[in-house]
Chain A
Amino acid sequence: MGIFQKLVSFLGINKKEVNILVVGLNNSGKSTIVNHFKDGENKTHEIVPTVGFHIEKFENKNLSFTAFDMSGHGRYRDLWEHYYEDCHGIIFVIDSTDTFRLIVVKDELDTLLQHPHIRNKKIPLLFFANKIDCPNALSSVKIAASLGLERIMDKPWHISCSNAITGHGLHEGVEWLTQEVRQIVATKKY
């Protein structure tokens, strides 16, 4: 980050607020991923199943992210759609070890993509194939294939392997998301 950019961000010029929705099934590691982006003192050590949702804020390259960390539990998944309307990007977290529920992931993803607030909007989708360090984890390629991600033509998407505990792969994914969101916000304005 150059000195000028630092100055710009310090003065708050050029800073944009974007809302990011973090969704995925329960026990996929959404809260752990969001926790990773928090500042040192705000980090929690004990991650418990989210009830309802949590709102967390963090920054990346002049973009101020407001992450809606949704609960992935079956009974709270109805809440997701209420936040589709004014979100600029979606992070979809997948437990790569849970092959049994991959079909549920696909079902939820299809429901998400069919939603009227998502269907006709160009929203970047970032997939985290989480828990990649586990011995029986599926590769991101396999996950992308079984979820049929290649069918998503009208939205930019990216899948990245991650390990939310160590933070491996998280920054790479969020860099991509930042870039995409920046582009979309820019084209909207002009």
Chain B
Amino acid sequence: MEFHTSKWLEAHLERNAGLKTLPRNLILGDIFGDGDYRLILVDVDFGQDLKANLKVYRGTGLVANQPLPVLPSSLISFYNDLTEPYLPVVGVSCDTDFLIYKNNKPFYKFSVPSFPLTTTESNVWQRLPHVTDESDYKILLEKLQSVSFSTLSSRSQKLLSVPLNNIKEEIDKYSGEEPSIHPSITCSTTLRKNSEDDIAVSCAVIGTENGYIFILDPLTFTVLHKAVSANIKSSPFILQTSGLYDVEFRILVICRENHVCVIRNGWTEGKILFRTANAIIDAVHLSVDKSLVVATAGKNLSCYSKKGNKMWTVKTIHEITCLCLLSLKSSNTYLVGVGMRNGAIHLFQGRHIVDCISAPDTPSALLFGQMGQEEHVLIIITIAGALNFKILKRTANFNLESQETSGPVVENRPLPLPKRSKLFVEQVMREKQNACDIHQRFQQDLIKMRLTAARAMVHLKPDENAAGNEKELVKLSARVTGLGPTFTLILNVENMSNEKPLLGLSAILHCKTSLYKLSSYVIKKMETKVLEINEPIKGDNSDKNNLIRVFVIKKDGNQPVITASINMPDTDFLDIL
């Protein structure tokens, strides 16, 4: 098994950070213009009354925290001008207002232009302040109910939910105000104006509840372009852009009604690109091939082409909670991070999983980008409120090449067959005609080869002269005692067999006579009545030590039963003495 080391460094994990952050509510930006990228996020307090705070993290520490008027829907950061120092602004979509912060201070506020009421609704509101009778209220409210709820203004929507006895107070709240529809902002994103550089002016693009998309001027924050996302009711909740505003751009509007619309330059009404069967959870646009990766309910991750054709769908192991784009510009790699229930985060390159990361628990928002001085940081905020930073190792390699081939790609290339030569054709003809003969001859040769192998094996077997003889089950060991120059050699022949007696054994000892003088060179009768036979041999050493070979032989055998080589001990020190 391949040794797996993580490609990620666990930089920081704060389990009880208590953050409640939704997707698209966290960004990274050099908001103080010092090259040190901060993490900016919206922390929502789901307590009694919903509250939200805009928090700024520098490294692992919280450096700023300011309350927001209402619950924001999304957070973006962009450069609105290129005056030194380069300071990006932070745009927070709060209800009907788009708040812009610069240098972490409120800078500008854009309010979504109002839309006129339907005639029925405006008629009702003209009459409402003048009625006092409860039955009249009922009639008017019924009139309001006849209008589609989503096209009503927010005040009418609220009025319909108020109990009848409180209705007078509710109406009095709005006295003197002209009723109009102020759609709230549901999503926002940025669109580069005229340059693809890292630091370049971008326009803010905001989408509203009633399906309108506004492109704002970066400097004056006035509406540059206004378009409706589709000819049917659609409420956008994610916007993705590509291209440049001044040249050519494309805005993908992902709507809660499970369709995705596209808006191009000059269009005042978008077109539906595709629809999905299940509810869309999150979507990420890949600028490389202009495809859109969409996560839908039911553990589906799909990819749609620029033209809206579905390219692939994969089932994930758990329900998807959020997506994020991991762009590694240095290696020109774009991965999609998929956060799932149970805290698994899978990184997809195309349809293949290239890496698996685990978060402390289910991630609620993911973000990848430069943080502080480090370029490749993955920020994970979990549902339980943990804040986790993971740094991608410099040496990380996603083995994208090997992944490419492992996929179930249909091989269209034909096999590399060699040309049909004359020789080959003749051989085939011969084989066809004499199939039987060829087979028989082959079998014959095979049997012959096996016989030769068996013979060679048999021939080799008796040559075995290791310390143990398996056939005879004899063991021979030797022990040398004494310091020299006279040694005692004790030979020990052991019968390992339980059934066979060892009879008629004798031993021959062989050594260099110039080195050793043995008391006897042949031991004639090695008796095996007693299991151990010790035969002391006196050796006299005068020169360097050497081997003494022992051959144990049977009376009628022409091969030794067992042999041994004995290394004699060193006697050099005797010379010194």
A: which residues have CB within 8 A of B? 25-27, 74-75, 77, 98-101, 103-104, 107-108, 111, 136
Contacts and interface: CB of A to CB of B under 8 A. Distances in A.
A11 B378 CA distance: 58
A129 B375 CA distance: 22
B9 A103 contact: yes
A51 to B, nearest CB: 15
Interface residues of B, number: 20
A107 to B, nearest CB: 6
A26 B373 contact: yes
6 contacts: A77-B394, A100-B60, A100-B372, A101-B391, A103-B391, A108-B394
A101 B330 contact: no
B10 interface: yes
B391 A104 contact: yes
Given A100-B60, A100-B389, A74 B11 contact: no
Interface of B: 9-12, 35, 59-61, 330, 371-376, 389, 391, 393-395
B28 to A, nearest CB: 13
Nearest to B375: A74
Contact of A27 (B10, B11, B59, B373): B373
A86 to B, nearest CB: 23
Contacts of B9: 103-104, 107
Contacts of B373: 25-27, 98, 101
Contact of A103 (B11, B330, B376): B11
A74 B394 contact: yes
A74 B394 CA distance: 7
Given A100-B59, A101-B391, 17 more contacts: A26-B373, A74-B375, A75-B330, A99-B60, A100-B11, A100-B372, A100-B374, A100-B389, A101-B372, A101-B373, A101-B374, A103-B9, A103-B11, A104-B9, A104-B374, A107-B393, A108-B394
B61 to A, nearest CB: 8
Contacts of B10: 103
Most B Cβ at <10 Å: residue of A101, A108, A136: A101
A101 to B, nearest CB: 6
A96 B10 CA distance: 18
A100 B37 CA distance: 12
A111 B330 CA distance: 20
Contact of B372 (A98, A103, A107, A136): A98
B11 A101 contact: yes
Contacts of A75: 330
Q: Which 6 A-B pairs have the closest CB atoms?
A: A100-B59, A103-B9, A27-B373, A103-B11, A74-B394, A100-B372
Contacts of B35: 27
A104 B391 CA distance: 8
Contacts of B393: 107
Contacts of A74: 330, 374-376, 394
Most A Cβ at <10 Å: residue of B12, B35, B61, B394: B394
Contacts of B12: 100
Contacts of B389: 100
A78 to B, nearest CB: 8
A75 B12 CA distance: 23
A176 B419 CA distance: 73
Nearest to A111: B395
